[in-house]
Structure 1
């Protein structure tokens, strides 16, 4: 990934030129919102509610803007929860019909025009014995339909491996037998809060078959209903056409995503991936072609798919029977293609490749090795690095950002004992008031919202006397506005350390930014929903300035700040 902008050249009084980095240039493609690949931690009380800290400057206009939205939201009728709606449907003797997400073409395409004539049918109209789950939920259940939303399917496939997280999103208290009333509910994390989405079970079909996400077992329906609820959340099935796997991973967990560019990888990457996997993180990856003429979802000669979301379902180190003990190891990753078919990697360690003969039978059994045409395959870490260009790790805690040293990749040391304090701020970039653009636009940069945080060294016995801070900036309500042509704009943030004696509640003005260098910032501004970065800084007060790349780019945002606290 090219590096844009030059932080190292920033000196007192010298303006640094930033450049935005757009993952995609072709905004006419269906997947225009993505660098697309067709693309007891989970409790809400672990994250503080959005608040206004006393030591934070929050512009009058932004404050009023947020206040007006809150007033407007409070004036809406309170939605009835799932259990009450189900009870009302049972009492009426009629199956529930969702008044907010109607079974018509406008719920499929924004303009109401579809290439086929779809029929909306309930599972009971398709099968005599429909079931919500058949032997639980697994990643092999998921089959992609006509919709280009593999970025969602890949995240769901990962989620099924963590039942404690999966059943937060997909509650168990529903099905087609006990208390069936044609109503189902799911929960998604949206901008700092868990939101319940209630739907009916009318699904679009063509000639009696489901046309979008469905299960390998034709009479199992959790997959199709989950996708419908997610489509309702964003305003229709078309809103899910194209996206980043980091969006769906966050929506399914409320976690924080680390994006790693494999073209300039960090040190000890395998150890970091192994640790993240052991911690239960959701991990996705994709191949970004260097040549702009390569079509999305093109299948390469080695069986891999360009600009397509894969989930990494296991990371391990195995012993080889035919090699010396000290060197006889293989660093392997197991990947899953959400198409769930025979389109798989064909190189080393692929299904039925000769490399597996060097693995003891006991090791193969431990891995649960199968050679089915199910979209899942193994590959070596070396081949993974040669072929894939980006990997994204989503964890419900920030601990995976630690850069543990490890020489053989087999044992991953634990972090130092620490905890995390998290704070969220809701804000907006308002034209002519709080949309000042990046520091290139020095005369308007001070207009941007400013947030002050204090860093304290959580470990008095460490050698570097530095503090860790993780900052995540998310654009709000963009995918919901996709039907009106709204798109993600390049966003980022910059940090400034306050000099001694400077009051942390004081707004920083243009002169401050003109004559003081930033101490940290995002590597580049990205036109994605969320950008996240981790920094190690000395103790003190810091001001975070979130901004769009250019002035007068408007939108709402959610800023999450994680700081270490000593336990």
Structure 2
């Protein structure tokens, strides 16, 4: 497995650039690396991001020419290191805020032995998970500035540059800095980790999911969220301090006793590094005087750094969804890590096989996957609330430029297979016209990935990914997580027919 290309230890070379080879050439020639595949010019900034006046004033400068003592990382990576610049990539920065809590993830993304000192050659590299494979992305360290100051993400510590270089590497993967405008926290969390994610939809008048979020935090999950859309444009600050249509990091979930009553709290971080909640349980709220001195000392921080507490009730009123990213769905049911098994497939829809209608003649030509759901072991329950399958369907873009990607409406259907058909090699059109799916994802457009978590009784099933666009040729990535006794489920239990 360690030699397989596309793993964290052996990532694919993005655009066929070999970091070690390029760095060695630059060191031997005593030159500073300049990346021709992502040149320091307006093409890398992208279209319609800066006005003509700003674009004309942009100068690409290396950190060694900005400060006397540049460092990639100063005293470890922290969620308080950076602040957002003139780029609407709060979704990306909210995800960075989440991963700074876990050094193992940061070490995968930022490979070791990189610095501005020994054998410095103006070249760095970062790693991301992209559609089933890890990729190694090489960049030069020329950064866009105006009047000597970084115009996009920047560190609060003047000589620390990991956020700016990481943002540049991700901009290269996505096509340009302009391609980072607007997105979902879940998208960046997936690209940082390759882990499963699950989205919770919040209801303003029904505060729930706090216990699930608490479990997610206990299982070292990464969490982000998005504020609700209002009548105003994006990034409008409300009187209560919340910014509309904006991404935040969830940095903690905690319960306190206030005047003897239990209160559920959520802590959030604004990637701007400022603009905090002003309501109850904010830094200046008198409610903090009602909790124990121990909790007040432990939890309350009056710094204006963009991080704040709010009650679960206020959280649900102001935020629309929560994205949770974890190694396995274990946090969803508090089960054992060993009980969840994952299998992944990379496949394609071919021309004239894409059809949403099971009455049509092409639906059966979509890829078909067997899935066996075994009997639960004696320590597991068969209650209807026990959800034991999580399916993720991700479509792979044809364009490198993220802003040009057209995410097609995609979904999947799950059919139960009766015993008499379990020797079937391929299921014909007649099976789908006479059978109804036992589970079906909503057909979603405008999103690259559909994720559903549900319960299936023991038996054999067929999963059929589909798109509603006729004559479409496109690649997709299917992941199936199943919760069962470890000895009774293997990757072969879910296979392509």
TM norm structure 1: 0.79
Structure 1: tracts of 5 or more residues without a match: 1-42, 50-73, 403-413
Corresponding residue of 1:455: 373
The alpha-carbon distance between structure 1 residues 171 and 297, as it changes in their structure 2 partners (threshold 3 A), is same
- Find out whether 1:104 has 2:44 as its counterpart: no
Alignment coverage as a number of residue pairs: 477
- Three-state SS of the structure 1 residue aligned to 2:419 is coil
Corresponding residue of 2:144: 204
Structure 2: tracts of 5 or more residues without a match: 487-497
Pairs within 5 Å for 1:537-552:
537-552=456-471
Pairs within 5 Å for 1:410-489:
414-416=334-336, 418-432=338-352, 434-436=353-355, 438-439=356-357, 442-464=360-382, 468-477=388-397, 480-482=400-402, 485-489=404-408
Q: How far did 1:205 drift?
A: 0.9
* 1:70-97 residue CA offsets vs partner (Å, 9 max, x unmatched): xxxx9x9993532332222211111112
The alpha-carbon distance between structure 1 residues 228 and 204, as it changes in their structure 2 partners (threshold 3 A), is same
- Three-state SS of the structure 2 residue aligned to 1:272 is helix
- The 8 Å contact of residues 14 and 137 in structure 2, kept in 1 or not, is answered as no
Q: Distance in 1 between matches of 2:6 and 2:368?
A: 19
Q: Distance in 2 between matches of 1:254 and 1:166?
A: 13
Q: Distance in 2 between matches of 1:553 and 1:357?
A: 61
Q: Distance in 2 between matches of 1:537 and 1:47?
A: 34
- Find out whether 1:349 has 2:304 as its counterpart: no
Q: How far did 1:144 drift?
A: 0.7
Q: How far did 1:516 drift?
A: 0.8
Q: How far did 1:215 drift?
A: 0.8
Corresponding residue of 2:266: 333
Q: How far did 1:527 drift?
A: 2.3
- The 8 Å contact of residues 204 and 317 in structure 2, kept in 1 or not, is answered as no
- The 8 Å contact of residues 204 and 210 in structure 1, kept in 2 or not, is answered as yes
Pairs within 5 Å for 1:287-306:
287-289=227-229, 293-306=231-244
* 1:214-270 residue CA offsets vs partner (Å, 9 max, x unmatched): 111222100000000001111111111111111000111111111111129999611
- Find out whether 1:151 has 2:91 as its counterpart: yes
- Three-state SS of the structure 1 residue aligned to 2:309 is strand
The alpha-carbon distance between structure 1 residues 461 and 350, as it changes in their structure 2 partners (threshold 3 A), is closer
- Find out whether 1:182 has 2:122 as its counterpart: yes
Q: How far did 1:272 drift?
A: 0.5
TM norm structure 2: 0.89
- Find out whether 1:285 has 2:232 as its counterpart: no
Q: How far did 1:399 drift?
A: 1.2
* 1:448-476 residue CA offsets vs partner (Å, 9 max, x unmatched): 22211212124145442877221100111
Corresponding residue of 2:199: 259
The alpha-carbon distance between structure 1 residues 227 and 83, as it changes in their structure 2 partners (threshold 3 A), is same
Q: Distance in 1 between matches of 2:49 and 2:323?
A: 35
Corresponding residue of 1:385: 316
User: 1:314 aligned to 225, 248, 252, which one?
Assistant: 252
Q: Distance in 2 between matches of 1:372 and 1:141?
A: 14
- Find out whether 1:81 has 2:18 as its counterpart: yes
The alpha-carbon distance between structure 1 residues 179 and 230, as it changes in their structure 2 partners (threshold 3 A), is same
The alpha-carbon distance between structure 1 residues 181 and 275, as it changes in their structure 2 partners (threshold 3 A), is same
- The 8 Å contact of residues 6 and 135 in structure 2, kept in 1 or not, is answered as no
The alpha-carbon distance between structure 1 residues 84 and 274, as it changes in their structure 2 partners (threshold 3 A), is same
Corresponding residue of 1:218: 158
- The 8 Å contact of residues 204 and 318 in structure 2, kept in 1 or not, is answered as no
The alpha-carbon distance between structure 1 residues 355 and 504, as it changes in their structure 2 partners (threshold 3 A), is farther
* 1:135-169 residue CA offsets vs partner (Å, 9 max, x unmatched): 22111112111111111000001111111111111
Q: Distance in 2 between matches of 1:77 and 1:387?
A: 39
